[in-house]
């Protein structure tokens, strides 16, 4: 009997070994221009990672960027190159279900490269979940919720267009919290724009803003009380990422709650933000933290410090959004909701059945793995390289 058990165990290990990892760059048009403080995009670029196990199970993951290596150091070109040359070779033949061991192997093969590692880890979790008939949320601790309040970002820079867009979202019962991107214009222009939006929407909607590191401390001291006067409930990353002490000083003034984003990539970053009392909430993002396991580590540090959790995004398709939602579902609290509206801003999606948005919430997809299925026809349509995608085997 022991010999049979050993043979069965060995067979399972072989079945769960990674046979192939394939990466593909895709460029998907957006429905309208998405403008941040330092860049704007009219198409969203991703690296789609496909993992094939020896048992035939296939998993998919996604690495998103915004406008190339300007939001963080990773571009889709660099992500793909590092996956193909360094990260994938470190995992071929290794068991897909040993997620921590896989993360350690990737860390040994390449420093940082958080988005690239996150896409691979997601694909491993998806493939193992499909093998076991379990959702990724179950592999991460089990779901505590199946739907999430979801906001919409207003980022065209045209207040008339933004008011019209927000009204349409309210009428369709899709979104009633709106994040307004600021920082591309002078503060006075941004405040005037926000004033128009706030007056138009009134008490029918909640507003938060994201300065994307655009202000210095003096500007923020001047503008935060004005934002509070407009009813803004949360201000995201008003200062450069390095100025955690400055965020702490701003928060001590108590004008409006602060959300840390670019200041927190790692659990160590989160610990420093907590030590400096520099934020009321933290934006959790798969590509920042280097995977779903690290996302939960960051969330754990924040929770221990009494800092709220907010589900951030980088305009992911339904693939990346589904990965986030599977992790968010396992958090006991997600007090600020999430912003995974990415599939709605794309002109097309990359899955056969997009995520469901209804009654101001986004639903956790059901089914094994991520709960979404890659649409290979769309993958080919939006692939940057129309030749056969690169694979490592």
Query: Which residues are the active-site residues?
Result: 181, 339
Cα(221)–Cα(163) distance, integer angstroms: 27
List CB contacts of 269: < 8 A, sequence separation 6 or more. 263, 298
List CB contacts of 250: < 8 A, sequence separation 6 or more. 217, 220, 221, 224, 238, 239, 258
Q: Are 195 and 227 in contact (CB under 8 A)?
A: no
Q: What is the DSSP string of 58-125?
A: EEEEEEE-BTTBTSSS--HHHHHHHIIIIIHHHHTTSBTT-HHHHHHHHHHH-SS-HHHHHHHHHHHH
Quickly tell me which residue has 């906001």 as its tokens.
Answer: 151
Cα(365)–Cα(341) distance, integer angstroms: 14
Quickly tell me which residue has 């739907």 as its tokens.
Answer: 147
Q: Are 42 and 285 in contact (CB under 8 A)?
A: no
Residue 239: CB atoms within 10 A of its CB come to: 25
């Amino acid at each position: 009997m022991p010999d049979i058990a050993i043979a069965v165990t060995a067979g399972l290990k072989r079945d769960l070994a990674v046979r192939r990892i394939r990466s593909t760059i895709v460029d998907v048009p957006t429905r309208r221009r998405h403008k941040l403080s330092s860049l704007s995009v009219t198409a969203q670029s991703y690296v789609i990672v496909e993992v094939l196990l020896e048992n035939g199970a296939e998993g998919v993951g996604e690495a998103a960027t915004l406008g190339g290596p300007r939001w963080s150091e990773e571009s889709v070109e660099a992500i793909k190159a590092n996956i193909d040359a360094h990260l994938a070779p470190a995992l071929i033949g290794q068991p897909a279900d040993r997620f921590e061991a896989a993360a350690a192997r990737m860390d040994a093969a390449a420093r940082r490269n958080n988005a690239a590692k996150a896409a691979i880890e997601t694909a491993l979790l998806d493939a193992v979940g499909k093998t076991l008939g379990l959702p990724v949320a179950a592999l991460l601790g089990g779901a505590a919720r199946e739907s999430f309040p979801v906001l919409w970002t207003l980022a065209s820079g045209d207040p008339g267009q933004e008011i019209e867009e927000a009204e349409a979202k309210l009428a369709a019962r899709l979104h009633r919290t709106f994040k307004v991107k600021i920082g591309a214009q002078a503060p006075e222009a941004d405040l005037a724009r926000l004033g128009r939006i706030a007056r138009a929407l009134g008490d029918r909607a909640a507003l938060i803003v994201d300065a994307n590191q655009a202000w210095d401390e003096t500007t923020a001291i001047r503008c935060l009380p004005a934002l509070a006067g407009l009813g803004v409930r949360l201000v995201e990353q008003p200062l450069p990422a390095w100025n955690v002490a400055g965020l702490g000083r701003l928060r001590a003034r108590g004008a409006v709650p602060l959300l840390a984003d670019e200041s927190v990539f790692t659990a160590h970053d989160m610990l420093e933000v907590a030590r400096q009392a520099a934020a009321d909430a933290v934006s959790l993002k798969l590509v920042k933290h280097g995977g779903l396991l690290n996302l939960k580590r960051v969330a754990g540090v924040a929770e221990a410090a009494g800092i709220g959790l907010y589900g951030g995004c980088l305009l992911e398709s339904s693939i990346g959004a589904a990965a986030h939602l599977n992790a968010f579902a396992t958090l006991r609290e997600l007090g600020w909701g999430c912003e995974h509206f990415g599939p709605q801003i794309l002109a097309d999606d990359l899955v056969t059945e997009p995520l469901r948005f209804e009654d101001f919430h986004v639903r956790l997809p059901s089914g094994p793995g991520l709960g979404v299925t890659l649409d290979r026809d769309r993958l080919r349509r939006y692939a940057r390289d129309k030749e056969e995608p690169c694979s490592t085997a």
